[in-house]
């Protein structure tokens, strides 16, 4: 056996990383972040995300290249947002005005939850990019 993975193996690894990483990110944010009142409402929305996550994982596993590339780009953006949040720059979207929001009031707060989720999302991005562009 050679040390390189085949294209199919890369997609299978990316799918499993996407599923496992998404579950870990959700568990980290649910159990380590937020208030108990917010957590109850967040769990309700997660119930809708489970079938979507399952379908996306299956499509990655079945080697849908464009979807995998799109998800890699999204994961890259999320990685940058999480890491900037770790440094204290809060980036979000105001959906009422459809405009990005930036806040620096707590610059350099170093919330390690953001660092952990940023690194995990960065690894997901790498695995998706590796499969999507056959790196």
pLDDT tens digits for the chain (135 residues)? Answer: 456 778 899 999 999 999 999 888 888 877 766 555 566 666 777 788 889 999 999 999 998 899 999 999 999 998 988 888 888 777 666 556 555 555 555 555 667 788 888 899 999 999 999 999 988
Task: Give a yes or no: residue 33 inside a domain.
Answer: yes
Whether 127 is in a domain gets the answer yes
Q: Is residue 76 a part of any domain in this protein?
A: yes
Residue 1 lies in a domain: no
Query: CA angle 77-112-14, nearest 5°?
Result: 45
Query: Quick one: pLDDT at residue 1?
Result: 45
**Burial class for 126, CB neighbours closer than 10 Å (0-12, 13-18, 19+):** middle
Q: How many domains does the chain have?
A: 1
Q: Which of 105, 104, 114, 21 is nearest to 60 (CA)?
A: 21
Would 2 be classed as within a structural domain?
no
**Taking the mean position of all CA atoms in its chain, how far away is CA 126?**
11
DSSP type of residue 35: -
Q: Is residue 47 part of a domain?
A: yes
Domain contains 21: yes
SS3 99: strand
pLDDT of residue 69: 94
Domain annotation covers residue 68: yes
Q: Structural domain of residue 91, as residue ranges?
A: 7-132
């Amino acid at each position: 056996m050679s040390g390189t993975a085949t294209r199919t193996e890369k997609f299978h690894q990316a799918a499993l990383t996407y599923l496992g990483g998404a579950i870990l990110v959700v568990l980290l944010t649910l159990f380590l972040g937020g208030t108990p009142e917010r957590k109850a409402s967040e769990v309700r929305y997660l119930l809708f995300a489970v079938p979507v996550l399952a379908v996306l994982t299956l499509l990655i596993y079945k080697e849908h290249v464009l979807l995998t590339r799109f998800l890699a780009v999204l994961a890259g953006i999320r990685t940058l947002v999480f890491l900037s949040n770790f440094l204290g720059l809060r980036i979000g979207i105001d959906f009422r005005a459809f405009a990005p929001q930036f806040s620096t009031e707590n610059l350099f707060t170093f919330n390690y939850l953001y660092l952990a989720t940023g690194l995990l999302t960065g690894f997901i991005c790498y695995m998706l990019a590796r499969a999507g562009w056959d790196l």
